[in-house]
Amino acid sequence: MRIICEECGREYETHLGNACPYCRREKEWLRISNEAKSSVRNSFPKGIRNSLSKYFHEETRNYKKVITLANKLYQEDDDYYKSIFLYGDTGEGKTTFACALAEEILKRKFILGEWFPVYRPLYTVYDFFCVLKKSYSKLIIESETTILEQLENVPLLIVDDLGIEKGTEWEMYMLYGLVNNRSRELRTTIYTSNYSLEKLAEKIQNDRIVSRILSTSIVMNYTRIE
């Protein structure tokens, strides 16, 4: 038997006395969010966490902007998928906004029953290359291939600060692999950059990376909301 939940409006299979699984998972998300070690927010740097608490709660315009964009990026349809490319001047708060957006999308995935382990969703391009280079050490157990597979398969990834890389052949090869494989597997990715896509293409001299981003992403010139 299928009924519609009076609280959230979703339809679900039920037996007499069963509670809505979506409402149950939303309460579970709130419980997990209050446990520092288990929350997505706890994986972000302290400065980001402080900014999220101060500027991204239900009464702020910033939060409403996150909800509007999340509605475009993530819908309750298995075949629906979009990424986003955020660009704008330094200091506008792109990274904090990206983290708030990631948190909202992961919450929605969780409520729909897409369980995921706690992981680190935010990687600057610098972090990405550093992690890969460390894998070449004999002291590190995880190989370059293992790390790439992990980042390619997480449900959502923030690739922060595109354009700071030097543009070496190795960097472009690794970055293209990440962008291309996440696009091919329909994984939502949030990209941030100080450059528009046109200027990014000039900066990194790699049209293939920019083309992959453009083919799957909503492009947004981000400015801070005071």
Residue 197 is encoded by which pair of tokens?
A: 């896509």
Give the bridge partners for 86, in sequence order: 192, 220
With CA atoms as reference, report the closest residue to 81 among 156, 180, 186. 186
> E strand or H helix at 79, and its extent?
none
- pLDDT value at residue 177: 93
Residue with tokens 């972000």: 44
Beta strands at 11-13 and 156-162: parallel, antiparallel or unpaired: unpaired
Neighbours of 178 (CB within 10 A): 21
Compute the distance between CA of residue 65 and CA of residue 94 in angstroms, rounded to an integer. 13
What global pTM score does this model have? 0.85
Residues of the chain short of pLDDT 50, as ranges, are 16
**Phi, psi of 60, deg, nearest 5:** -95, 155
With CA atoms as reference, report the closest residue to 8 among 36, 35, 27. 27
Residue type, 28: E
Neighbours of 4 (CB within 10 A): 11
According to DSSP H, which parts of the chain are helical?
21-33, 46-55, 61-73, 94-111, 125-134, 144-153, 169-184, 197-204, 207-216
Neighbours of 192 (CB within 10 A): 25
- pLDDT value at residue 80: 55
Compute the distance between CA of residue 225 and CA of residue 124 in angstroms, rounded to an integer. 23
The number of CA neighbours under 13 Å toward the Cβ of 139 is 2
